[in-house]
Structure 1
Amino acid sequence: MAFKQLVAATMLGLAVMPAQAALNVFACEPEWADLARALVPDADIHTATSAQQDPHYIEARPSLIAAMRRADIAVCTGASLEAGWLPALISRASNRDVQPGKPGLFFTAEQVSLHQPHDHVDRSMGDVHPEGDPHIHLDPDRLPVVVDALADRLVALAPSDENAIRLRQRQWQVRWKLDTARWRQAADNLGGLSVAVQHSTFGYLLRWLSVESAIDLEPKPGLPPSASHLSDVLSDPALARVKLILIATYQDERPARWLANQTQLPIEVLPGTVNDQPETDSLAELIDHLIDRLAHHQKAADHG
């Protein structure tokens, strides 16, 4: 079947797709709530964190415990991202279906290979994840693999809804393929752009776009920028290549503002995940927005 015909056929299925059972989904981060909603839009989805929060550090509040207790499935990143709070939350919720090794606990990072895994990790390295960088949600190539694995898991939990879930899965994959083609074209215009970042929140997308993360405001992963490290950044030869300081909305803006005042570099404070703003309320729209802002600064640098 030609690709355009495939698009039309899968989209047509929206009109005839049967109603789905109301699964209870606990999403550790907003990006996984977005994927779950794409596959089971009638599910009751509770999201533990927001774009304004660092997903490494969350309190196991009573409302989260109650939501986990009701969940048929918890969709989380894994790779130690939630290690500081998820085990306690699972323990307190006492949901026998959402436990390590059970079908009701799904880790997205286990579905793909991760960037920068480590054979040995100790505290001197900072907050390093031995499994690798867990922030996979902005990688256009890894997300389709995650969606397929998540669809398989949802079908296993709700086999009566298999046809509906598989249809939604195909529809998502078609849309994503079209989006990825656009993003690859946009990436052609971003070659040579270098940015300063804080942590690896945007790392997968930046690598996919061939945008260099030349400077990290963190002295070590997970450690807040210190005065001495920022002073060292000023003398780092890589700073000369930087055209933009890029940080996530949950991060402290003061180190970035200080560096901007010293260098006159522009700052972009952008959501690191899906939020409730129209331009960033899905993963595809979020990636669109991030690429648009990067392209804006590349264009400004080219004409500067």
Structure 2
Amino acid sequence: MRTPFKAASLLGLALAANPASAFSIFACEPEWAGLAQQLAPQASVFSATHAYQDPHYIEARPSLISKLRGADLAICSGAELEAGWLPALQQRAANPKVQTGRPGLLFAAEQVETIDQTETGFFDTAHVHPEGNPHLHLDPERLALVAQSLSQRLIDLDPENAQTYQRAQSAWEESWQQNIERWRTQAAPLKGERVLAQHTTFDYLWRSLGIEVIADLEPKPGVPPTTAHLASLIDKVEEEAPLAIVHAWYQAPQSAEWLGEKTATPVLSLPSTLTPEQQIERPEQLFDHLISALLELQGER
């Protein structure tokens, strides 16, 4: 049985470097912790969240405050994903390096063009992000752009180790581009498939793979599925015959399972971020896992 406490503990052990004087990086989500550790191999890296948590809702615990207080750099998704908890952490940590607008805080969403940007002022849920979908780490091309920005920020903040960061970025970039080409070939059979998803967590992945989302289990972003909404999807699912009904590990499976049983459609639970206890410690391992899971399900048809 997976537990949030076990996941968080293992992630901290996997990503924390030993030297107490190491450059300290606070990552709001595991994907950025994993990327930071690859680009700054000698740094001490800590992730505030794990794969079994909804990153929209995190408690500003004393342990997180302490970690942010000692951070030289914080990297977060941005696009208001952490709006419900990061400001409280910043205030209580009182670390001038990682305040909004300072060089020590890097928002990934500000380094790329996000999808689904919209107007502000009329939303009733924190899961609607006017600045665009914040789950951009699930697009390999956008993640590469964030890696470039993160590497440069590391050089700016820690110039004494500039050569180390430059070498790490160069090696990572070469390997990452090779992975992108491999994923394109490997995932080619998935192009044109359909899925029914819960929330927009995997929208960047669907777009990169050419997979169509036919509907959402949530009646509105961030609003839990209702019986009436799920019932309204039955005919669509039976007509469209999607590859799967997909939800993330941190989302309750009951709604997906109910609809899957009603329509005889497979339910696929996927990790939306890194999870070391499942041997998904680096971004490339996450993409390998996601693509393999989809291809395996396709092969079972």
Question: Does TM, scored on the shorter chain, surpass 0.5?
Answer: yes
Q: Does structure 1 conserve the Cα–Cα contact (< 8 Å) formed by 2:125 and 2:223?
A: no
Q: Residues of 2 paired with 1:179 and 1:45: CA distance?
A: 24
CA separation of 1:239/1:277 partners in 2, compared to 1, >3 Å: closer, same or farther? farther
State the Cα distance separating 1:187 from its structure 2 match: 2.7
Kept in 1, the 8 Å contact 2:56–2:127? The answer is no
**Paired residue for 2:244?**
244
- Correspondences of 1:17-96 after superposition (within 5 Å): 22-96=22-96
Name the structure 1 match of 2:116: 116
Question: Superposed, which structure 2 residues align to 1:168-179 within 5 Å?
Answer: 168-179=168-179
State the AA in 2 paired with 1:203.
Answer: D
1:82 alignment partner, SS class: coil
Is the Cα contact below 8 Å between 1:193 and 1:298 reproduced in 2? no
Amino acid at match of 2:184: R
Residue identity in the other structure for 2:70 = R
Deviations 1:170-201 (A, max 9, x none): 11101101100011112321122111111111
Q: How many percent identity over aligned positions?
A: 45
Q: 1:279 touches 1:286 (CA, 8 Å); kept in 2?
A: no
SS of the residue corresponding to residue 142 of structure 1 reads helix
Distance in 2, matches of 1:28 and 1:126, equals 17
Please report the TM-score for the alignment, with normalisation by the length of structure 2.
Answer: 0.90
**Which residue in the other structure is 1:286 paired with?**
286
CA deviation after TM superposition for structure 1 residue 237, in Å = 6.2
**Kept after mapping to 1: 8 A contact 2:217/2:225:** yes
Residue of structure 2 equivalent to 1:9: none
Deviation per CA, 1:221-260: give whole Å up to 9, x if none. 1111111110111133685231211111100000011011
Unaligned ranges ≥5, structure 1: 1-18
Rounded to whole Å, the distance in 2 between the matches of 1:239 and 1:70 is 54
CA shift at 1:277, angstroms?
3.5
Tell whether the 8 Å contact from 1:214 to 1:239 is kept in structure 2 after alignment. Answer: no
* 1:218 partner amino acid: E
Q: C-alpha displacement at 1:45, in angstroms?
A: 1.1
Tell me, in whole angstroms, the C-alpha distance in 2 between the residues paired with 1:139 and 1:225.
26
Per-residue deviation, 1:126: 6.8
For residues 281 and 174 of structure 2, what CA distance do their matches in structure 1 show? 19
| Number of the residue aligned with 1:105 | 105
Letter in 2 for 1:179: N
SS at match of 2:296: helix
Q: What is the rounded CA distance, in whole Å, between the counterparts of 1:49 and 1:296 in structure 2?
A: 29
Counterpart-to-counterpart distance in 1, 2:46 and 2:57: 18
| SS of alignment partner, residue 98 of structure 2 | coil
Secondary structure of 2:141's counterpart equals coil
Match of 2:160 in 1: 160
Q: Distance in 1 between matches of 2:45 and 2:135?
A: 21
Whole-Å Cα distance in 2 between the matches of residues 211 and 294 of structure 1?
11
Contact in 2 for aligned 1:25/1:45 (Cα 8 Å): yes
Amino acid at match of 1:30: P
Task: Name the CA distance, whole Å, in 2 between partners of 1:279 and 1:64.
Answer: 24
C-alpha change, 1:143 and 1:239, in structure 2 (3 Å) is: farther
Tell me the SS of whatever aligns to 1:74. strand
Amino acid at match of 1:95: N
For 1:199 and 1:246, locate their aligned partners in 2 and report how far apart those are by CA, in whole Å. Answer: 9
In structure 1, the residue matched to 2:207 is 207
The aligned counterpart of 1:148 is 148
What secondary structure sits across from 1:188 in the alignment? helix
**2-side partners of 1:175 and 1:121: how far apart?**
42
How many equivalent residue pairs?
282
1-structure distance, mates of 2:253, 2:206: 20
Gaps in structure 2 of 5+ consecutive residues: 1-18
RMSD: 1.6
Question: Structure 1 pair 35/93, CA: closer, same or farther in 2 (3 Å)?
Answer: same
Q: Equivalents in 1 of 2:51, 2:203: separation in Å? A: 16
Aligned partner of 2:25: which letter?
A: V
Q: Deviations over 1:257-284 (max 9, x none)?
A: 1011101111111111000145422110
